[in-house]
A and B are shown apart, each in its own frame.
Chain A
Amino acid sequence: MNTSNTQTITAASVMPNMSQLFGWLKSLQYPAVGITGLLLLWWFGGFMIENDPDLSAFAAFAPAPTFSALVDLVASGEVWQPIGSSLYRILSGLVWGIGIGVPVGVTVGYFGLALKVTNVPFQFLRMISPLAWMPIAVLAFQSWDSAIIFLIVMATVWPIIFSTAHGVRRIDPNWFKVARNLGASGFQMLRRIILPAIMTDVMAGIRLAVGVAWVVLVPAEYLGVTSGLGYAINDARDTLSYDSLAAVVIVIGIIGYGLDTVCSVLIKRFNWHME
C-alpha cells in the first residue's frame, strides 16, 4: 500500500517534467530543420570549392575546418578579447543612442511643432549609412574607439527616436487628462505616465537599433582599431587563416542572435498589454 502510494507520487511529479521537456523539444524541431538545412548548404558550398582547382585554396571555409577552428578559439580563450571589445563598443554606442534618442523622441512625439520641424531632416539623416560618417568621425574624434562608438550612435539613434515618438503619439489623450486632473506636475506626468506608457515602444526601438548597430559594428572595426570581431576577421584574412575567419563569422552570428534575444525578453518584461 505504502510503496504503491510513493510510486504514484513520483510518477506524478516526474510526468509534468517529462511533458515539459517534450514540449520544449517539440518547439525546437522547426529551428533544428532550418539550421540543418543551412549546414547542408554550407557543406555543399565547401564541397564545391574544394573540387574547383581555382578555388581550392579557400577550402578552409567549409564547416569541418571552421568548427575545429572555433573549438580552438574558444578552448584557447582567444575569442573572449575581441568579443569584449566589440560588446564594449556596441554598449557604449547604445547608451549614447538611448540617452539622446529617448529625450529627443519624447520631445518630437509630444510637441506637434517639433515633429513638423524635425520630420524631414530626421528622415534625411536616417537614410545616410552610418558608415558614411566614417571620414568625419575620424577627423572629429581623437581615438579610433570613439570614432567607432560615434558610428554606432549614428546607427542606433534613429530607430530609437522614431519608435519613442511613435509611442508618445499613440498615448491615450484621456491618460493625460486624468493625470492633469489628479494634479500631476510636468515631471510627474513624464515619470508616472509618459515613460511607462512608451516603454514597450522604446524597447522595440532599441531592439531595431541593436540589430543595425551590430551589422554596422563589424565593418567599422575593419578600420584603424586592433581589437574586436571585425578586426579579427580582417586579421584572419591577412594571415590566410580562412577557417578562423569563418569561425569568427559564426561567433558574430551567435552573439547577434543573443543580443536580439535579450531585447525580446526585455520587451516582454516591459509590455503591459494583457495577452
Chain B
Amino acid sequence: MGASISLDYITHRFSAAAKPTLKDIENRIEPGELVALIGRSGCGKSTLLHMMAGLLIPSDGCVRINNHLVTKPSAKWNMMFQKASLYPWMNVKENAALGLLFDGMPKAKAGERVDTLLDMVGLHDKKEVNVQSLSGGQQQRVALARSLATEPEVLLLDEPFSALDAFTRTQLQEEVPNICRERGITMVIVTHDIDEAIAMADRVLIMSQNPGRIVGELTVDLPWPRRHMDAGFQSMRDELMQQFKGTDTGLAGRNGADTEESEVSESAA
C-alpha cells in the first residue's frame, strides 16, 4: 500500500554561502496519489526528488514518509532515473532481482518474484539475455521491474522517459500510472513536459526557480486512460501552460521565457 509523503518546510543550500536552491517547500502527498512536479531545468525539482528518496538530506526542514523521517535511501521508496543504469555483468532477471538480493532474499526466490514482474512489463522472452542487447525502452522496463520488485510504497521518477522514442514514451506514460494505481503506490514524477504531467498525474505541482519554490498547483481530474486528443486533455494543458507562465517569478525568468527557447515543451505526442 502507498505511503504519504510530507515535505516539511524544506530549504536547501548546496554550500553555506550560496543562495538557497530550494526555499520553504511545504506539501503533503496522500497515499496512492500520483503527483507530477514540473519546472524549468535547474529549478531544483530533481533535488527535491532526491531528498524524498533519501539520497540527499535538506539543510533545513525534512521529508517524512508515513510520518517516518527520511534519513537514508530505502528500497521502500524507490527512484527511477533518466538512465536505466543496468549492470552489464548481470542478465535481465538478475538486474531486476537486485533489490531483493540486497534485502537478503535467496537468489532462487528473488528470481521467482521478478518472473511475473518481467512478464508484466513485457519482457517475458528477454529474461536471460544480456542487458546490453536491449533497446533503451526495454532497458527502462527492466529498471521499472527492478524498482517494483521490492514492493515499494513510493515510486519516484526522475524524468525516466525523456531519452526514449515517442512511441515507447507514450506507452510507458500510460503503463506506469496504471501499475501504480493497481498497486496503490504513491508516485511522484519530475518532468518538464506538460503533456507528460497531465497524462500521468492526479495533481501537478509547479515550481519556480531561484529559489526553487512550489508556486502553483493543478488538480487533474480526467478519466483514465488519458488520451492526448481528448478535449479535456487539451484544455487542461492550456490551463497548466497559463498557470506556468503566470507563476514564473521575477522579470528575468519572464524575459527568458519570451526570448529563449522554453524548457517546457508544448509538443503534442
Contact = CB atoms under 8 A, between A and B. Distances in A.
A182 interface: yes
Given A182-B102, A183-B73, A177 B85 contact: yes
A2 to B, nearest CB: 41
User: How large, as a class, is the contact surface on chain B?
Assistant: 20 to 34
- Chain A CB within 10 A, most for which of B81, B98, B150: B98
A181 interface: yes
A184 interface: yes
B244 to A, nearest CB: 29
Interface in B30-76: 53, 55, 73-75
Interface of A: 172, 174-175, 177-185, 188, 192-193, 196-197, 199, 272-274
A193 B87 contact: yes
Nearest to B88: A272
30 contacts: A174-B85, A175-B85, A177-B85, A178-B81, A178-B85, A180-B73, A181-B55, A181-B78, A181-B79, A182-B73, A182-B99, A182-B102, A182-B146, A183-B99, A183-B150, A184-B102, A185-B102, A188-B101, A188-B102, A192-B101, A192-B102, A196-B87, A197-B87, A197-B89, A199-B89, A272-B88, A272-B89, A273-B132, A274-B132, A274-B133
Interface in B84-114: 85, 87-90, 98-99, 101-103
Contacts of B234: none
B83 interface: yes
Contacts of B79: 181
A31 to B, nearest CB: 32
- Interface pairs A-B: 3 shortest CB-CB: A272-B89, A182-B99, A174-B85
Contacts of A183: 73-75, 99, 102-103, 150
A176 B179 CA distance: 27
Given A182-B73, A183-B74, A183-B102, 4 more contacts: A174-B83, A178-B81, A183-B103, A274-B130
- Chain B CB within 10 A, most for which of A183, A192, A197: A183
Contacts, number: 58
Contacts of A175: 85, 87
What is the predominant secondary structure among interface residues of chain A facing chain B? helix
Contacts of A272: 88-89
Contacts of B103: 183
A199 B150 CA distance: 28
A78 B88 CA distance: 48
Contacts of A182: 73, 75, 78, 98-99, 102, 146, 150
A170 to B, nearest CB: 13
Contacts of A197: 87, 89
Contacts of A196: 87, 89-90
Given A181-B55, A182-B146, A183-B73, A192 B98 contact: yes
A227 B83 CA distance: 57
A172 B85 contact: yes
Nearest to A174: B85
A172 B75 CA distance: 20
